[in-house]
Structure 1
Amino acid sequence: RKIMDLPDLRVSCTCVRVPVYRSHSVSITAQFERPVDVEAARAAFEGKPGVHVVDDPGAKLFPVPLDTTGKDDCLVGRIRKNLVFDNALDLWVVGDQVRKGAALNAVQIAEIL
């Protein structure tokens, strides 16, 4: 808004400082056909295999790439309403790129086949 001198510009963003040793990090904006409740979305992730919700901004708990090193689960957090799109959520996901991104995925696919 400030750089473009457009004070009414609708912007949705996530500021991230990532001291990455390893792991992939993804900022996701997911749009849906209908409105989605943040708590319902959080509940949908909780207890799912391979996913661990780390989402308590008040306690400064967020998914951090280093926390996934050597672990199978992906961490999901910063689940919130998108400020631009009515039926959208923003979330932050991190996961060990060797475990979940390559080796573990290969094993899981082989087990299914």
Structure 2
Amino acid sequence: ADAREAFAHFPGLRLLDDPAQNRYPMPILVEGQDDCFVGRVREDLSRPNALNFWVVGDQLRKGAALNGVQIAELLISSH
């Protein structure tokens, strides 16, 4: 629950995690969007205090162009 709350309030990240309705992020659903999506959040049974989750995003937008712009904006604002 704490991880879902943190994910839901993190800038640039959207929580889509509704196992009862079989709703979780899929690459086809996030195409053309700037934010990344996280879902399928669950306890990792192989390690104590660990989580497993699924994160997807539009790799052409976020992985290439937008990510570079956001890093540049952050560097400019910190000076």
TM over 0.5: yes
Map 1:1-113; keep pairs closer than 5 Å: 39-113=1-75
TM-score (norm 2): 0.89
State the Cα deviation string for residues 45-92 of structure 1 (Å, max 9, x = none). Answer: 113221010000001111111111110011100000011111110000
Counterpart CA distance in 1 for 2:68 and 2:46 is 37
Identity %: 56
Counterpart CA distance in 1 for 2:66 and 2:59 is 10
Bigger-Rg structure (1/2): 1
TM-score (norm 1): 0.64
Gaps of 5+ in 1: 1-38
Gaps of 5+ in 2: none
Counterpart CA distance in 2 for 1:54 and 1:75 is 7
State the Cα deviation string for residues 21-65 of structure 1 (Å, max 9, x = none). Answer: xxxxxxxxxxxxxxxxxx000000113221010000001111111
